[in-house]
Amino acid sequence: MGLDMKRWVVPITLALTVCTAVTLVLTLLTTNITLPPGTKFGVVFDAGSSHTSLFVYQWPSDKENDTGVVSQTMACDVQGDGISSYARNPEAAGRSLQPCLDEAVKLIPAAQLAQTPVYLGATAGMRILSLEDPEAAASVLAEVSKTIQEYPMDFRGARIISGAEEGAYGWITINYLLDTFTKYSVKNGGWIRPPAATVLGALDLGGASTQISFLPSGAIADPATASHFRLYGFNYTIYTHSYLCYGQAQAQKQVILKLSQESQDASGQVEHPCYHKGFKNKVMARSIYDSPCTAYLKPTGFNLNQEMTLVGTGNVTKCQQAIRTIFNFTACGPHHPCAFNGTYQPATSGQFFAFSAFFYTFDFLNITSGQSLFEVIDTIEQYCGRSWTDVTDSYPKHKLRWLQDYCANANYILILLLEGYKFSEKSWTSIRFQQKASGTDIGWTLGYMLNLTNIIPIEAPAHVRTQKEGLWVTSIIFLVLTLVAALVLLLVYIF
C-alpha cells in the first residue's frame, strides 16, 4: 500500500464510522419505535338472554400490560335469539355461531389464529335456564363449545358468568376505555391515580337481568355486595349487584302476569296501560309462565294453553302503577340504605354510564343527549300517548315486537332508576346514556377478556415504560457520543 493510500486510511475509516453513526441515529429517531412488532387478538362471545354478539379485540403485543391500548376491531350479531332459547335444540345453538366465527377468522391473520384466545360468557338467560333445567343448560354450553373448537383458535371455555361478574366487568370496561384507572404523567414522571370522583359507575340492563356497579363515597356495609380489584397498583372496592328477573323482558312478563291476575275478563282480554291505544296481541299463558321469574306465581291447576289478548290503553300513570307492583320498595325499612326487594345499596355517587337496553330504549326516543329529567318524562309521556297506528306508520322499518315495548320499557327504566336505584332529579344529570366509548362497545365483554388475559397488571407498569424508553434513549446517547468522538478524531488528524 502506497503512502498516499495509507494517508487516507484513518480519515476514510473515521468518515465511515461517522456515516454509520449518523445513519443509526436517524433510523432510531425516525422510526416509530412505539409501534408494536405485532398485534394480538382476542375474541369474546356475549351470549345474552335475547341475542348473542361476537366481539374481536386487538392490541399491540409490546404493550400488552400497558393501559388504553386494547381496541374493538369487529362486532358481529349472531342471528336468532339467545342461546338459552335453544334448550330443546342445543345443536342449533352451536350452528348459530358459525357465520360470526367465519367473519372473525377472515379478519384475524392466519398466522395468529392459533394464539388468539376465544371466550364465551353466558349471562342471565342461561342463568335462568340453569335454574330451570341444568341438563339443558349444560347441553347448550357443550354444543357451542363444540362449534367453537372446530375453528383454528385458542378456545378457552364457555361458561355462565355470575351477575356480580357481569356488573364488575362492565365497570372495568368503562373505566379502562376512558382512562379513569390510571394515567401516565410526564410532569410527575410516572403513573398517577386520577381522583376517585372521576371513576365511573356502570348501569347495565339486559333482557333478563340488570346490574349496578359503582365506587361509593363511603364504606360498603354488606360484604356480599363488594368486589375487590387491584389495578395498576391501586386498590378498588366497588359496590355491585345484579337483579335476576329484572331485565326488561322478564320484568314485562311479570307486569303482564300481575295485570292478568287483576283484570283479565272471561274472554281472556287483559287491558295493558303500557301499550298504545289500538294495540292488540294474543299470547299464550305458557309464554308468560315459562320462566322461573314467573312460574312460581302460577295458580295450581292453571291451564298453560290458555290464550290471552293484550289490549293497549296508553295510560302512562297506570303503566307506572303496574310496573311498581313487581318491586318491593319497603322491605328495608326507613333506617337502612336500600334499593328494592330488601337489597342493600349505598347511596349512588359520581358519574354513571347507562348502556345496553338503557341506551337502546332512550336512543329510540332521542333522549340520550343530556336532557333534564323533566324533558325525559315529557318525551316518554308524549310517545306513550300516541296511537298504535300512528306509531307503526311513523316507524315502518322497525320490528313490531320492538315498537310495542318501547313505552313499557321506557317507563320501566324510569321506575328502576328513580325508585329502585334511588337516583333523584338532581343526580339524574350524572347519568350518561351511551353505548360506545373510544369507538368500543360498552359492556362486560372487554373487561372479561382484560381480566382473563391479565392485560391489566396488578401493579402500575411504570418500570416497563422506563425500560423501554431507557433502551432506545441509551442507544441514541451512545451513538451520539460515538459520532462526536469520531468527528473530534477526524479534525485532530486533519489539522
Average pLDDT over residues 465-490: 46
Domain spans, the chain:
3-31+476-494, 39-160, 249-323
pLDDT digits (tens, 9 = 90+) for 120-158: 999 999 999 999 999 999 999 999 999 999 999 999 999
Pairwise CA distance, residues 364 & 360, whole Å: 6
Q: Are 337 and 347 in contact (CB under 8 A)?
A: yes
The three cell numbers locating residue 406? 318501547
Strand partners for 236: 229
pLDDT over 60 at 260, yes or no: yes
| Fold adopted by 39-160 | Nucleotidyltransferase; domain 5 (3.30.420)
Pairwise CA distance, residues 216 & 220, whole Å: 7
More confident site: 364 or 190: 364
**Is 109 exposed, middle or buried, given 0-12, 13-18 or 19+ CB atoms closer than 10 A?**
exposed
Paired sense of beta strands 269-272 and 201-205, if any: unpaired
Please give the pLDDT value at position 29: 42
Pairwise CA distance, residues 368 & 105, whole Å: 35
Pairwise CA distance, residues 339 & 422, whole Å: 7
Residue with cell 376512558: 178
pLDDT digits (tens, 9 = 90+) for 178-236: 988 876 555 665 666 777 778 999 999 999 999 999 999 999 999 999 999 998 888 99
Pairwise CA distance, residues 84 & 126, whole Å: 5
Please give the pLDDT value at position 396: 94
Q: How many C-beta atoms surround the C-beta of residue 235 within 10 A?
A: 9
Percent of the chain having pLDDT more than 90?
69
Q: What is the mean pLDDT of the chain?
A: 86
Average pLDDT over residues 304-328: 95
Q: Annotated catalytic residue: which of 166, 262, 381, 419?
A: 166
Pairwise CA distance, residues 53 & 100, whole Å: 8
User: If pLDDT is split at 50, 70 and 90, which confidence band does 333 have?
Assistant: confident
Q: Sign of dihedral through CA atoms 199, 205, 206, 209? A: positive
pLDDT over 60 at 289, yes or no: yes
Q: Which residues are CB-neighbours of 43 under 8 A, at least 6 positions away?
A: 54, 55, 56, 57, 104, 116, 117, 118, 119, 153
The three-class DSSP label of residue 453 is coil
Name the nearest CA neighbour of 208 among 402, 362, 357.
357
Please give the pLDDT value at position 367: 98
Least confident of 95-99, 116-120, 451-455: 451-455
Please give the pLDDT value at position 128: 96
pLDDT over 90 at 478, yes or no: no
| DSSP line for 16-36 | HHHHHHHHHHHHHHHS-TTS-
pLDDT digits (tens, 9 = 90+) for 12-43: 455 555 555 444 444 444 433 333 458 999 99
Rounded to 5°, angle at Cα 162 from 322 and 449? 120
Asked if 166 is an active-site residue, the reply is yes
Pairwise CA distance, residues 276 & 483, whole Å: 81
Please give the pLDDT value at position 231: 87
Q: Which residues are CB-neighbours of 187 under 8 A, at least 6 positions away?
A: none
Pairwise CA distance, residues 323 & 320, whole Å: 5
The three cell numbers locating residue 210? 340488570
Average pLDDT over residues 297-319: 90
Name the nearest CA neighbour of 401 among 207, 211, 129, 265.
207
Q: What single DSSP character describes residue 416?
A: I
